[in-house]
Amino acid sequence: MEEFPGELTRSQLEALEVLQHILSKLKDPSAKWYARYGKWVERHKNLDEFCFRCTRSSVWKFLDGKWNLDQMKLIGGNTKQDARGIYFNGIHGLDKKTRLYIGQSQNIRYRISQHWNFRYRRDNPSLHYYALQRSDFNLFGILATIPSPSMGYHALPGMDSPDLLLNLLEMWMAIMFKCLPKQTMQEWVPEGVKVEGVFGALNIATPLDTRQTGRREWVDLGECEDPLVREYIDGGERKRSDVEYRDRKTDEAVDQTVGNANRNRNKASRSKTLGYEGSGDSLVGVMVVCGIAAALGYTLWRSAKRT
């Protein structure tokens, strides 16, 4: 984890303003978010400071500098670790435009491996994957991580509900990198903070809704000016009307499902192999017995003939 900065940079000052604005909306009793987040936010007074400590220092260097793909590479992060946190996918399209997707995972390594998997992308269509299929270069990096549950950090701010903490961190980072739809940005960005960013936005659903059961708000992308998004909509890949948003499985559940499927497949394969082996042994045994019987019969017949 990072240390909370003693003196805030320009981007950190803006990030603090944005984060405090989000927290104030979440603990507003009249807001729809209060039922899920209100008591949790009120319970943790130093939640904003803890979010800063979860965020990697290279993120602030990027936000304070020039926004381009080369600088984005410097954010870095170990994408091979089985960590819980927030990651990004920077995508350079065939149209030479850079777009950005931000996501969260209970297992960053596993989640990124899903993004690389063509079959997974084919079976789970999204704007993110639509952009990925029409790119000539893309990169992954890590923006923030939260402590492992095995480290005994459950008493830290927000760690009693790590799923809510991940949602908050993803929402915060998505706003700071400006990769949410314009109408969502306008709803959550405090006055005086820019809504539009340098990169194309590939996030659609509000991160605060992650793991929320039932129907969720579905943002109309009809007013988006990005040609790729227009192509995505017009091609029928994504309806503009409200739809029933399929609940995201947690990464552990997906991992467990895949693991169980592989184990069952291997078990079935072993059983099948053993079955064939058993059948082969039985057949050999029958052939041996028949051979012995034939030889014995022939010997008796010759003896009887001599007699």
Q: What is the pLDDT of residues 61-105, one digit of tens each?
A: 999 999 999 999 999 999 998 999 999 999 999 999 999 999 999
What are the tokens at 74? 């410097």
Q: What is the pLDDT of residue 299?
A: 63
Please report whether residue 4 resides in a domain: no
- The overall average pLDDT reported for the chain is 83
Please report whether residue 18 resides in a domain: yes
Please report whether residue 271 resides in a domain: yes
Same domain for 255 and 217? no
Same domain for 272 and 141? no
The parent domain of residue 281 ranges over 249-307
Same domain for 134 and 277? no
pLDDT of 203 above 60: yes
pLDDT tier for residue 15 given thresholds of 50, 70 and 90: very high
Please report whether residue 294 resides in a domain: yes
CB-side neighbour CA atoms (13 Å) of 278: 6
Q: What is the pLDDT of residue 91?
A: 98
Same domain for 35 and 136? yes
pTM: 0.78
Q: Mention every residue, 6+ apart, whose C-beta is less than 8 A from residue 114.
A: 120, 254
pLDDT tier for residue 247 given thresholds of 50, 70 and 90: very low
**C-alpha–C-alpha distance, residues 12 and 50, integer Å:** 14
Q: What is the pLDDT of residue 154?
A: 79
Residue with tokens 């809504």: 195
Same domain for 159 and 306? no
Please report whether residue 184 resides in a domain: yes
Q: What is the pLDDT of residue 270?
A: 43
Given 225, 248, 271, the domain boundary residue is: 248
Same domain for 296 and 201? no
What are the tokens at 298? 């022939």
Same domain for 196 and 275? no
Domain count, the chain: 2
Please report whether residue 5 resides in a domain: no
Same domain for 35 and 94? yes
Please report whether residue 1 resides in a domain: no
Please report whether residue 63 resides in a domain: yes
Q: What is the pLDDT of residues 139-166, one digit of tens each?
A: 999 999 999 877 677 789 999 999 999 9
- CB 50 within 8 Å of CB 156: yes
**Helices (H), ranges, the chain:** 10-26, 39-43, 47-54, 57-64, 69-73, 108-116, 118-123, 127-133, 162-176, 182-188, 227-234, 251-306
